[in-house]
Amino acid sequence: MFPPRAPVVPLAAVTLALAIIGAPVALAQTEGDPEVNVKRGKTVFRNLAQCVNCHGWPGDGVTGVDLRAPTGPNLRETTLDTAALIEVIGCGRPGTNMPYHDRAAYRDDRCYGMVMADFASGGKPVRGKSLTDKDIRNLVAYLQTHVIGRGKPTRDECTEFFDNPAAKACSLLK
């Protein structure tokens, strides 16, 4: 279970304010944390949470996006810190297509201090595949290690993502 959410709302507000003014938000170091598994995070990104449908394989919101899915923001340029990433993945973004992945989201006030009854009938948050707290942390570790802060996607990143140097999706990249 995530820690109590009461202090997270101010953190999200501070993170948003910093993002608006363009201030960098430090990412927590997760690679050396024995509680996270970056490789598992890649599996969550690719398969379980299906992040690639909206964010594309490189997380840029463009490359390899499923045309039937909405376009997601460019995660390579995000300024969200670890706590904010965990919150967004767990709670989604109400009013957008970003789904929530915390199975208990909006049953209590852990997400932005809101419960499902707080939303109008047509404006309820989108539900995604439920992820464990550990898989959400693994996903964040993957994003921080292989996606956030990267420039334009490269062929090397593509072949690493698909575990295949001859992946067709990588043929147009340098």
pLDDT in tens, 98-124: 999 999 999 999 999 999 999 987 778
Has residue 132 been placed in a domain?
Answer: yes
State the pTM of this model: 0.79
**3-state class percentages of the chain: helix first, strand second, coil last, to nearest 5:** 40, 5, 55
65 domain-assigned: yes
What single-letter amino acid sits at 96? T
Q: 47: domain range? A: 8-170
pLDDT in tens, 21-48: 333 333 344 445 667 899 999 999 999 9
Instruction: Output the pLDDT for position 124.
Output: 87
Q: Is there a domain that residue 1 lies in?
A: no
Query: Does residue 3 belong to any structural domain of this protein?
Result: no
Q: Is residue 91 part of a domain?
A: yes
4's tokens: 């109590």
- Arithmetic mean of pLDDT over the chain: 82
Q: Which residues lie below 8 Å from residue 38, measured CB to CB, with a gap of 6+?
A: 30, 31, 138, 141, 142, 145, 146
Tell whether 139 is covered by a domain.
yes
What number of other Cβ atoms are within 10 A of residue 95's Cβ?
A: 11
Position 1 pLDDT exceeds 50: no
CATH number for the domain including 156? Answer: 1.10.760.10
Q: How many domains does the chain have?
A: 1
Q: What are the C-alpha distances in Å from 88 to residues 23, 128, 139, 164, 174?
A: 19, 12, 12, 31, 32
Q: Is residue 148 one of the residues assigned to a domain?
A: yes
CA distances from 67 to 30, 55, 62, 126, 136 (A): 32, 11, 10, 18, 25
